[in-house]
Amino acid sequence: MEHTTFSKLIAGVMTWGSWGKNLNTSDMENLIQVCLENGLSSFDHADIYGGYSTESAFGTALKQSGIDRKKIQLITKCGIQYQCENRPNQIKHYDYSKDYIIWSVETSLKNLQTDYLDLLLLHRPSPLMHPEEIAEAIHRLKTEGKILDFGVSNFTASQTDLIQSAIKVNYNQIQFSATHLQPMLDGSLDYMQTQNIRPMAWNPLGSVFKRDDLQAQRVLSVVNKLAVKYETAPDLILLSWILKHPAGILPVCGTANPKRIKQLIKATEIDLELQDWFSIWVESTGNKVP
């Protein structure tokens, strides 16, 4: 089966709402337009973002924008039952029952004011997952045209195999960056390549601009030098490092800054030289390659 086509960089909307910038409808509409005009046609949601409020805010802005639905791709996630004023949960937990998955998707469709999702992801793995029950829900949603494609998020290879015992998984959204190398070293990305599972990467800039530890300092130092060499910005070097991986990773970029969004797509034009790519890996680990 062919994968759904998404933009090479995906706009992550987690911080657009009350968990971040708290954009009003007009500002959110403008940001959607800026993304679309600058090569980011795919938008990554989760039902829990903003305490189950960001999807609805985005949907209102999308409707107001008048953008043709066929020109964008909408991704969302379900399964986390979050504790907030919008849900009567006594404890944060996961729910992957057939009825809940279907209800969650139908709720997301209403909030996003659309008839279908381009991709549904199971947000985080649960010890109580029944693959056959999940498959029943996904088959029904696909048959009814409510979702076009299916995947997981933050799943290990064995957890993905469990789901794939009942239904094909086409995507896995994982944490991956130049400062979070584990998926490249523990077999996760190898597994996805052999299984024809397309990886997406959340937090693709890692801790480089967030922490001032030795790893971040080392990586930032080499990235700054490469930014001068390639006549670009340091964050674009970090994105190009991910894009060079043969698994075809799709970075999910979480900025809500229009100026930065206008620059992001330039990362797809950077082809890091082999030794430059390895120089970032070496500085991340603090050691020569084995």
49 is catalytic: yes
Residue from 111, 120, 160 nearest 139 by CA: 120
Q: How far apart (Å, rounded) are the C-alpha atoms in residues 15 and 77?
A: 15
Instruction: Write down the catalytic residue from 49, 171, 191, 230.
Output: 49
List CB contacts of 41: < 8 A, sequence separation 6 or more.
Answer: 6, 7, 35, 71, 72, 73
Residue from 61, 56, 60, 30 nearest 45 by CA: 56
Q: What is the dihedral of CA 53, 146, 197, 7, to 10 degrees?
A: -70
Q: Which residues pair with 147 in a beta bridge?
A: 117
Q: List, by residue number, the catalytic residues.
A: 49
